[in-house]
Amino acid sequence: MPRPRQRKSANSRKEEKKLKKEQEEREAAAQLAREKRERERKTRMDWDGLPTTGGVPSSSRPVDPDALPEPDPDTKAYFKRISEQIEEMSANGFGKRETQIIVNEDGEEVEEEIEDERPLLLRSALESLSGHEVALAGDHETSVVLEQLLYAMDDFAKRVLLDRFTGMYDKLVKHRHASHVLQTLFELAGETVDRETRGNIATGPSSASADSLPTMSALLVSCLTELLPNLPSLIYDPFASHCIRILLLVFSGVPASSTDPAARSKKSAQFRRGQGKATLGKNWLADDVAFTKEKDGGGKGKGKGKGRASAAEQRFATPSEFRQALQDMYERLDALDSAGVDPATGHALPTASIPGDGVRRAAMHEVAGPVMRILVELEALEPNGGWKAGGWADRVLCGLVSEVASGEVGTANTAATSDLREEYLAGLLRHPASSPTFEMLLTLAPKPVFDALWSTFFAQKLHRLAANAVANFVVAVGVARVDEKQLEALMKELRGIAEERRGEWIDNYRTGVLRALMESASRLGASEAEVSELMLDTFGLRTEEERKLVVPCVLTLNRLTHWKKLANGATPEPTTQGAVLLQTWLKMHSPHNQVVLDSITALPFDSLLAISRSATSSRVLDVLLTASTVPPRALRTFILSLLGHFHTLADDRIGSRVAERCFASADVYLKDKIAQSLFDKQNDLQRSAWAHFFARKLELPRWGRKREEWKAKMAQRTNEEKARLRAEEEAAKASAQPQEEQPAMQKQKKRERKADEVDEIFASAASGKKAKAGGDAERKAKKAKTEKQERDVAGLEDVLSAIKESV
């Protein structure tokens, strides 16, 4: 008789589900691995499948000239195991100077420090690396491990590795995997050169090895000597181009970073994220202070700023030979124009007779374009005045810098060049790969050059450019730099564009021009009312009742006509572009941001709760609570409208952060009101997974026991926060003041003779003009002073009301 069917327990069912899920994950991983191998197989040259000629045996078939030796299977397996151990040790928190209690020979308990195994692991890996550097760098799996080791190597080990690559640079930089190892090594070499230039040269295990090993500076110069003959063609290579970019930055002393978009491609960044290695891209020995100081000479030069935004202040120290090496790179890249041959294809250029044609072709290329951008940026950082006639920027702009310097812009002598410029830059403006070059040119251009670009390529053309899928990003960069006169002309042009055409910008999510327009109006303090009305007109919001829908319409990027067509109960998702528009609108000066504040006030609590619980739309509330342009009365009204709802608001991952920001922005009187409304809901707050963080900041038990003491503590915190913000503002003003005063000091030094009667006449005339021109500035200053007094009075009223409440 068969046994009756027994019912499975809950644990058995869970175990079966777990096993089934693991099996599906393994199958999915195997499928991904098969697809990856298939893609790699398609991209490699099938040397074995080439037909034989004249009966040549297979052993005599051609060999890939750029192929690197493959690593030994045992060595490859060892380094994969090294990578796993690094990840395991980092996950377990090794290297944090942990201690243990042991009993010594006398029977006493003593504290002993646990030895960190990571330096031993690194030393063992470096010993096994010797002789296999090139093979490991060329393998798609071990190259990632080698990058991990690079971030933890000391200066001497990096020099040894770079020395082992000598003679192979031409192959390594063009290799699919080895180029990333070299790129990381060059990036880290900048700090080593900085330390060596300051006299801190790392020593090896023995003095003999240290004396025979060249310095990092000498090794980099040797590497450049090997790459220099093929430099014009290397910038077009998809792998070598990234190494050339890093070398340009290193030789110029600008800190290079693999997080910089110009340094590492998106595909490379995605590959790094796909590896799932937490230690890739950072020093996994950084928390071991003693080992880092011993190997890196105290870590001097660490913590430098990444990118080139503040590169002028944070440059590395470089030796004198680097300046000559950089000039050699410039001279070799000049061959792009003089050769008359396209380095990417090897074909003759039909327009080789036009000066700068090779540079312009490179600037429009997807791979070589970032190299040209770095050259233009480095030229702008030059201490002798930045862009110059005949330089990289001048050639990309078809001689515009020379024309501006000589005052011949738009003359008959430059008609042919102007036609070429208009044709070339129009293509540069609309090409996805080259539009970042135009953005960079607009950002770094001196004011006269920018004015010439704006009047030639953007004025009276925004109706077409702002709707273009690529050009609208470039236009937004230009709008962010306009002056007051250009802004007035721009507003006149935009008001002349039909509402439906402007509405298409919203429908197609092309809002960069409108955002930059509000930013410029806020920065200049001009045309803010016109910009606000233009925004309302673009969204079709005219009447007072319709303007209450500003927040929902702008946040979801729906014009009023489309908003009305939505089905009842439909809740469109907030968009990032819409949230950014609202944040920028709130940062405009009062009363031009009042329409957004009124719309937020008119929202029902359910809609406000939905906004506070979205990672995208909650940023709008953050700006409302922190922006200095929001009037204190509007801020108090918003916080008071949430009284009685803070426990609901805080019961969410994102909403709790909004509630904490509301409490931080409130004055003592409002903080007391918030605590009073939540005192009876302490248990509900403590049971919530998110609200208990908010309750901890409120200190409700103290409020219930010692209310006056709680108020005094909150008032002290508020004063400390205001003092901190005031100190930050003063520090920012102090850092900006020397840059503003420098030209005035230079003008003052130019003239040291005593002023005579003629000088006094000219001085009086100039002072009269300044007084006339300074009227607007004086009125703005008075307005700002009045607003500050109103805020101070409002704050005083808050304090007085809090005192009355306490009495």
Q: What is the DSSP string of 574-585?
A: P-HHHHHHHHHH
Residues 200-218, mean pLDDT to the nearest whole number = 76
Least confident of 266-275, 419-428, 742-751: 742-751
Q: What pLDDT sits at residue 26?
A: 84
Give strand pairing partners of 112: 100
Over residues 478-494, mean pLDDT:
93
Residues 29, 34, 35, 41, CA torsion sign: positive
Count other C-beta atoms under 10 Å from residue 343's C-beta.
22
What's residue 140's pLDDT? 85
- CA–CA dist 93, 118 (Å, integer): 11
Retrieve residue 682's tokens: 């302490």
Q: CA 37 to CA 33: how far, in whole Å?
A: 6
To the nearest 10°, report the CA torsion of 81, 87, 92, 98: 90
Calculate what percentage of the chain has a pLDDT beyond 90.
35
Most confident of 240-244, 287-291, 568-572, 718-722: 240-244
- What's the mean pLDDT in 29-53? 64
Give the integer Cα–Cα distance in Å for 61 and 84. Answer: 39
For every residue of 27-41, DSSP letters joined together read HHHHHHHHHHHHHHH
**Which residues fall within 8 angstroms of residue 114, CB to CB, at 6 or more apart?**
98, 99, 100
Reading the block at residue 479, the tokens are 């709008």
Q: What is the mean pLDDT of residues 277-299?
A: 47
State the angle between helix axes of 632-641 and 757-806 in degrees (0 to 180), rounded to the nearest 10: 30
- Whether 601 has a pLDDT exceeding 50, the answer reads yes
| Residues of the chain above pLDDT 70, percent | 71
Q: How far apart are CA 242 and CA 262, in angstroms?
A: 8
User: pLDDT class for 125, splitting at 50, 70, 90?
Assistant: confident
pLDDT higher than threshold 90 for residue 235:
yes
- Among 260-264, 375-379, 383-387, the range of highest mean pLDDT: 375-379
Query: Minimal CA–CA distance to 190: which of 276, 277, 306?
Result: 306
Type of residue found at 171: K
pLDDT at 741: 42
3-class DSSP assignment, residue 214: coil
**Between these two residues, 351 and 641, which has the higher pLDDT value?**
641
Mean pLDDT in the chain? 78
Is-contact 495 551, C-beta < 8 A? no
Integer Cα distance of 326 and 215 in angstroms: 18
- The mean per-residue pLDDT over the stretch 747-763 comes to 40
Q: Which helix (H) or strand (E) holds 113?
A: strand 109-113
The values of phi and psi at residue 102, to 5°, are -125, 165
How far, in Å, CA of 468 to CA of 464, rounded? 7
- Return the higher-pLDDT residue of 353 and 448: 448
| Mean pLDDT along residues 602-629 | 92
Contact 459, 493 (CB under 8 A): yes
Greater confidence (312 vs 148) lies with 148
Q: What is the pLDDT of residues 395-406, one digit of tens each?
A: 998 888 888 888
Cβ-Cβ contacts under 8 Å for 519 (sequence gap 6 or more): 480, 584, 587
Give the 3-state secondary structure of residue 7.
Answer: coil
The answer to whether 708 and 806 are in contact (CB under 8 A) is yes
What ranges do the domains of the chain cover? Answer: 73-98+110-300+314-332, 337-448, 458-588, 631-730+788-807
Q: 394-408, 608-622, 637-651: which has the minimum mean pLDDT? A: 394-408
Instruction: Examine residue 62 and say whether the peptide bond preceding it is cis (omega within 30 degrees of 0).
Output: no
Confidence of residue 661 (pLDDT cuts 50, 70, 90): very high
pLDDT at res. 209: 57
Per-residue confidence at 63, pLDDT binned at 50, 70, 90?
low
Residue 528: pLDDT band with limits 50, 70, 90: very high
**Dihedral class, residue 51 (left if φ above 0, else alpha if ψ from -120 to 50, else beta):** beta
Q: Are 574 and 616 in contact (CB under 8 A)?
A: yes
- Of the two residues 57 and 360, the one the predictor is more confident about is 360
Is the pLDDT assigned to residue 473 strictly greater than 90?
A: yes
Number of Cβ atoms within 10 Å of the Cβ of 594: 14
Per DSSP, the three-state class of 100 is: strand
More confident residue, 768 or 159: 159
Average pLDDT (130-146) is 86
Side-chain-side CA neighbours of residue 678 (13 Å): 33
d(CA 749, CA 612): 57
Q: Rounded distance, CA 605 to CA 610, Å? A: 9
Q: How many CB atoms lie within 10 A of CB 618?
A: 19
Residue 197: pLDDT over 50: yes
Measured on CA atoms in the order 555, 556, 557, 562, is the torsion positive or negative?
negative
What pLDDT band is residue 133 in, cutting at 50, 70 and 90?
A: confident
Asked if the peptide bond before residue 591 counts as cis, ω within 30 degrees of 0, the response is yes
pLDDT higher than threshold 90 for residue 12: no
Structure tokens belonging to residue 664: 């931080």
Mean pLDDT of 659-681: 91
User: How far, in Å, CA of 553 to CA of 565, rounded?
Assistant: 12
**Looking at the predicted structure, is the pLDDT value of residue 351 above 60?**
no
In contact, 608 and 648? CB cutoff 8 Å = no
pLDDT at 47 > cutoff 50: no
User: Lowest mean pLDDT: which of 77-86, 153-162, 163-172, 355-364?
Assistant: 77-86
482-488: average pLDDT: 93
CA-to-CA separations, 101 to 109, 110, 274, 530, in angstroms, rounded: 6, 6, 41, 73
Query: How many angstroms separate the CA atoms of 373 and 195, rounded?
Result: 28
Which pLDDT score is estimated for 59? 47
Range name among 200-204, 219-223, 375-379 with the lowest pLDDT average: 200-204
Radius of gyration of the chain (CA): 33
pLDDT category, 743, cuts 50, 70, 90?
A: very low
Query: What separation, in Å, do the N-terminal and C-terminal C-alpha atoms of the chain show?
Result: 88
